[in-house]
A and B are shown apart, each in its own frame.
Chain A
Amino acid sequence: MSKFLIVAKKDFHSYFHSWVGVLIFTVFFLIAGIFFSLLVISYGKITAEVAQNALQNVQGMKLTHFICGSFFLNLGVVMMFLAPLMSMRVLSEERKNETLELLFTYPLSDIDIVWGKYLGMLYFFAVLTLPTLVYIGLLMWLGANLDWGSIVAGYIGYGLLGMSFLSLGLFMSSLTQSQIVSAILSFGVLVILWAMDWIAGIAQGGWAHLFATLSPLGHYREFALGIFDLSHILYFCFFCFYFLFLTVRSIERRNWKG
C-alpha cells in the first residue's frame, strides 16, 4: 500500500474518533434533505400553476434542471460552510499537538503527508456526498423522467468544487496551530472567491471577465446546469494543485524556523 494511503486511512478514521465527523455528516444530510424537499414541493407547485393557467410556453421547463440544478447550487453553498469545518483540524491540530514532528521523522515524504491528509478529507467528503444519491433515487421512485447526463455533470462539478474548497482549507490549516483561525481564514477566502461572481456582474469589460474566471461559482454553475466543459475542469484542477503545492511549501517551513 502506498504511504499516502496509510496516512489517508488514519486521517479518515480520526473523523469518527471525535463526534465532529458524525456531526458534520448529520448536519449535511439534514440540510441537503431540507433543500431537496423544498425544491420538490416548489416544483410541484409551479407545475400545478402551469397546468391551471394552461401556460404552454413553460412546459419545456425540465424537472432535472429545476430540481437537480438548484439542488447542486445549494449544496455548493453548504460546502462553503462545511469545507472549513472539515479541514480546520487536519494540519493545525497536528501542529498544536506536535504529532506532525513524528510524521516528519517516519519514512514519509512531505508530499506523502500532504497528499495523504488531503485524500483522508476526500474520503470523508465522499461519505458525505453518497447519501444524496438517496434523494435522486427518490425522484426516480416517484416516476420522474431524469436527464442522467445533467445529474452526472452536476456530481462531477460538485466533486470538483469540494476538492477545491478542501485543498484551500488544507492550506489554511497548515498556516496556524489554531483550528478556529484556520476555519475563519478558509471561510473568509471562500466567501471572497464566491463574491467575485457578483463583482463580475457589476464590473464591465475585461474586469468582468477576469472576476468571472476567478470565481469558482461561475464554473460550478455550468456543471449544475448540466453543462460539461473541459475549461471548467481545468480551472478546478489548477485550483486544487495550486493549494496543495502551497501546503507542501508551507510545511517545509520547519527547515528554517526551528
Chain B
Amino acid sequence: MANDKASPRVLEPEAPVMVRMEKVGKKFGSIEALSNVSFQIRKGEILGLLGPNGAGKTTAMRILSGYFPPTEGKVWMFEEELFKNPRETKRHIGYLPESIRLYEDLRVGEFLSFVAQVKSVARSERKKDLEHKLEICGLGHVRNRLIGQLSKGHKQRVGLAQALIGEPDILLFDEPTSGLDPKQITEIRMLIRELGRERTLILSTHILPEVSMVCDRVLIINKGRVVASGTTEELGAGLQTSHAIYLTMAERHRKDEAIQLLKTIPGVERVHVTEETGDRLTFSIQVSKELELRPEITRLFVQHQIPILEVRFGRMSLEEIFLKIVVDENTTKENP
C-alpha cells in the first residue's frame, strides 16, 4: 500500500512484547469504567489511545501505571505480572499523568533527584541521569527554580523529565501536549517520536492529528471498550469495502450525464452521490483497486465541459475513522 508518510517507521517483526493487557475490566461501584480490554505492544512501538472524553482512557493509563489494579483481568509488563509485585515492576514504567501536578515547594533539581532515588537509580548514575534529562527536556536553566514558580509549559517538561528518569522501557503519556503553546507542542511531539524509537510508548490523547503524526498503531476506546485497533491505514481499510475517489462538481443538473460518464471508465465499480448542496454535487466513486483514475476522470469531464471543483483520493482521515467508529458505536447501542 502506498504510504505518503515521510518516514515510515519499520518495526522488527520479532520485537518482544512489552505490555500486554488481558481482558482487563475496572469497576467503580456499579460504574463500569473499562471492560474486556485486551491488547499488546511490542518494543519500539508507539500506541495511540484514542477515545472521547470519559471513554476510560485515563482509567486504562492508571491501571498500566500501577496506580490501581484492575477489577478483572491481568496486565503483563515483559514477562512479569504488574500487580503481583508492583513495587518492582513499576520501575520499568515512566508515567506522565494528565495535567500533572508536582511538588510546588521543591526545586526542579531537588524534585528530580527525589524521583531518581525513589526509582532506585544507582548513586553513581544519578547525577548523569539527572543532567541528561534536564538537557533533553530543556530544563537546564530552571533547575534551581521552585516548581511552583514555573510556567505551565515548563511544569509539563518537568513532568516529562520525571517520567524519563531511570530510563524506563515503557512510557505512558496521558495528554502530554495539553495546555502547551504550538511551539512547545511541536517540540514535545518530536521528543516523543525520538523516545519511541527504543522504547515502548503509549500515548493517550484526544488530539487526532497528534496520533496520526506520532503513533504506529491506534486503539480506539469508547465507553470502556476497545472498538477498533490497528494502524491508521488498517482502520481506514476496514471501514471501506474498496477504495474510493471523491469528486465534487458544479452544475448539479448534469448529474445523470456525469454518472453515465463515470461508469464508462474501466475500473469503476460503483458511483453514488454523497452530498448535494446548492449547485454542487459530490460523488464517491468506488474503484476495484487503488487505481489512479483521477487523470482519466478529469480528462473526460473536461471533454464534456462539466466543471470539476475537486478530485481527491478517498483515504479516510483519522478524524473520519474515529468519528465513524465512535458515532456508529453510539447509534447502534442506542437503537439495538
- Taking Cβ atoms with an 8 Å cutoff, the residues of A that contact B are 1, 3, 6-7, 10, 14, 17-18, 97-99, 101-102, 104-109, 112, 254-258
Of the candidate stretches B64-72, B225-233, B268-276, B291-299, the one touching chain A is B64-72
List residues of chain A with CB within 8 A of the CB of B28.
256-258
Are B90 and A106 neighbours in the complex by a CB distance under 8 Å? Answer: yes
How many Å lie between the Cα of A102 and that of B28 in the bound state? Answer: 21
List residues of chain B with CB within 8 A of the CB of A99.
101-103
Question: Chain A's interface: helix, strand, loop or mixed, by majority?
Answer: helix
Are A104 and B67 neighbours in the complex by a CB distance under 8 Å? Answer: yes
| Given known contacts A6-B118, A99-B102, A104 and B69 CB-to-CB distance under 8 angstroms | no
List residues of chain B with CB within 8 A of the CB of A254.
67-68
How many inter-chain residue pairs (CB < 8 Å) link A and B? 73
Contact with B114, one of A10, A17, A97, A258 (Cβ below 8 angstroms): A10
How many Å lie between the Cα of A254 and that of B104 in the bound state? Answer: 23
Question: Chain B's interface: helix, strand, loop or mixed, by majority?
Answer: mixed
List residues of chain A with CB within 8 A of the CB of B68.
104, 254-255
Q: Does B93 contact A (CB under 8 A)?
A: yes
| Given known contacts A107-B90, A109-B87, A256-B29, A102 and B117 CB-to-CB distance under 8 angstroms | no
Are B105 and A14 neighbours in the complex by a CB distance under 8 Å? Answer: yes
* Closest-CB distance, B175 to chain A (whole angstroms): 14
Q: Does B119 contact A (CB under 8 A)?
A: yes
Which B residues from 32 to 91 make CB contacts under 8 A with A? 33, 59, 65-69, 86-91
Are B97 and A101 neighbours in the complex by a CB distance under 8 Å? Answer: yes
Q: Does B195 contact A (CB under 8 A)?
A: no
Are A108 and B118 neighbours in the complex by a CB distance under 8 Å? Answer: yes
How many Å lie between the Cα of A6 and that of B93 in the bound state? Answer: 19
List residues of chain A with CB within 8 A of the CB of B67.
101, 104-105, 254
How many Å lie between the Cα of A150 and that of B102 in the bound state? Answer: 47
Contact with A107, one of B31, B87, B105, B114 (Cβ below 8 angstroms): B87
Are A105 and B91 neighbours in the complex by a CB distance under 8 Å? Answer: no
How many Å lie between the Cα of A1 and that of B69 in the bound state? Answer: 27
List residues of chain B with CB within 8 A of the CB of A98.
97, 101
Are B97 and A105 neighbours in the complex by a CB distance under 8 Å? Answer: yes
* Closest-CB distance, B91 to chain A (whole angstroms): 4
Q: Does B100 contact A (CB under 8 A)?
A: yes
* Closest-CB distance, A99 to chain B (whole angstroms): 6
Q: Does B106 contact A (CB under 8 A)?
A: yes
Are B93 and A102 neighbours in the complex by a CB distance under 8 Å? Answer: no
* Closest-CB distance, A201 to chain B (whole angstroms): 45
Are A17 and B105 neighbours in the complex by a CB distance under 8 Å? Answer: yes
Are B102 and A17 neighbours in the complex by a CB distance under 8 Å? Answer: no
How many Å lie between the Cα of A103 and that of B143 in the bound state? Answer: 21
Q: Does B186 contact A (CB under 8 A)?
A: no
How many Å lie between the Cα of A54 and that of B8 in the bound state? Answer: 103
Q: Does B95 contact A (CB under 8 A)?
A: yes
List residues of chain A with CB within 8 A of the CB of B259.
none
List residues of chain A with CB within 8 A of the CB of B114.
6, 10
